[in-house]
């Protein structure tokens, strides 16, 4: 039985004061939500204050990115170990904004996923096709490549603990979410590949989140798809009430 995860990716939004106020509001709402792991991914500057504000609650914290080295001469970077020390238990890796705007690729994702595991954290690794690739019918090929290169060398045990976020790039921040059928098809394909390449047990344990214009109004239907184990939410996670509504609709039983 996979516990769903609903993770809020705040991107470059919210000051420390705004972030802490949000956590106080959200933690008052989430105690009645059971059977779902709630995760918030603030900016690096808000990581520690948010972790402190969430201490003792049902909310876990994620970094939005990490560097693959433990330490070194890498101006501007933050390591997984440092994010862990600041209170993060998860780290998002390979988000499409990192891939398109900051030159990340499957090779850097691979190094980062390993670094996150080495720091004792759980990676939330993002994969997904662009609109061009979907229109050229390349979606499955793109996913195959992101899985083979991005997760190369992981143990079956690590793949079982890995969280994958399927985020079609054309659905991110556009208001145009994948239909439940499109999500179901892609998630089913990803799980089949995990089974073929990493074994049945790892495939059965790995959580696959959907991301891309998730809102309170479309969460329940997406969560009702058999291989969808929660969501990575951008824009709609910025308001605590709306995010809470998504969290409360994230279990298949809620459909």
Minimum CB distance to ligand PGA, residue 156 (Å): 27
The minimum distance between CB 161 and ligand PGA, in angstroms, equals 20
The one catalytic residue among 67, 95, 104, 187:
95
95 is catalytic: yes
What does the per-residue mask of binding to ligand PGA show for 154-193, with x meaning CB under 6 A?
-------------x----xx--------------------
User: 40 pairs with which residues across the strands?
Assistant: 8, 61
| Secondary structure element (H or E) that encloses residue 56, with its range | none
Query: Which x/- pattern over 219-248 shows residues binding ligand PGA (rule: CB under 6 A)?
Result: -------------xxxxx------------
- Which residues fall within 8 angstroms of residue 206, CB to CB, at 6 or more apart? 159, 160, 161, 162, 163, 164, 191, 194
- Residues 6-25 binding ligand PGA (CB under 6 A) are 9
Is residue 48 annotated as part of the catalytic site, yes or no? no
* Contact characters 205-224, ligand PGA, x per CB under 6 A: ------xxxx----------
Taking the C-alpha atoms of 191, 193, 196 and 201 in order, what is their torsion angle to the nearest 10 degrees?
A: -30
Among the options 97, 129, 167, 245, which is catalytic?
A: 167
CB of 213 to ligand PGA, least distance (A): 4
Q: C-beta of 173: minimal distance to ligand PGA in Å?
A: 4
- What is the C-alpha R_g of the chain? 17
Q: How far is CA 106 from CA 47, 96, 143, in A?
A: 26, 11, 11
The pairing of beta strand 163-166 with beta strand 90-93 = unpaired
**Hey, is 215 helix, strand or coil?**
coil
Q: How far apart are the first and last CA of the chain?
A: 18
Q: Could you list the residues that contact ligand PGA (CB under 6 A)?
A: 9, 167, 172-173, 211-214, 232-236
Residues marked active site are found at 95, 167
């Amino acid at each position: 039985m996979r516990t769903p995860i609903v993770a809020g990716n705040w991107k470059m939004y919210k000051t420390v004061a705004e972030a802490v106020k949000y956590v106080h509001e959200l933690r008052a709402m989430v105690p009645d939500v059971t059977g779902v792991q709630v995760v918030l991914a603030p900016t690096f500057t808000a990581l520690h204050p948010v972790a402190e504000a969430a201490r003792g609650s049902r909310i876990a914290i994620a970094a939005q990115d990490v560097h693959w080295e433990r330490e070194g001469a890498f101006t501007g970077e933050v390591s997984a170990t440092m994010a862990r020390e600041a209170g993060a238990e998860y780290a998002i890796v390979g988000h499409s904004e990192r891939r398109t705007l900051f030159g990340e690729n499957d090779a850097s994702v691979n190094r980062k996923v390993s670094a996150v595991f080495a720091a004792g954290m759980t990676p939330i690794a993002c994969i997904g096709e662009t609109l061009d690739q979907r229109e050229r019918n390349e979606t499955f090929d793109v996913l195959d490549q992101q899985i083979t290169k991005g997760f190369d060398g992981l143990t079956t045990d690590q793949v079982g603990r890995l969280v994958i976020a399927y985020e079609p790039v054309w659905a991110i921040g556009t208001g145009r979410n994948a239909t439940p059928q499109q999500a179901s098809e892609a998630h089913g394909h990803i799980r089949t590949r995990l089974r073929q390449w990493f074994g049945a047990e790892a495939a059965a344990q790995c959580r696959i989140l959907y991301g891309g214009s998730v809102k309170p109004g479309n969460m329940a239907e997406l969560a009702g798809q058999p291989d969808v184990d929660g969501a990575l939410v951008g824009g709609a996670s910025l308001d605590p009430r709306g995010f809470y509504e998504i969290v409360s609709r994230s279990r298949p039983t809620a459909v």
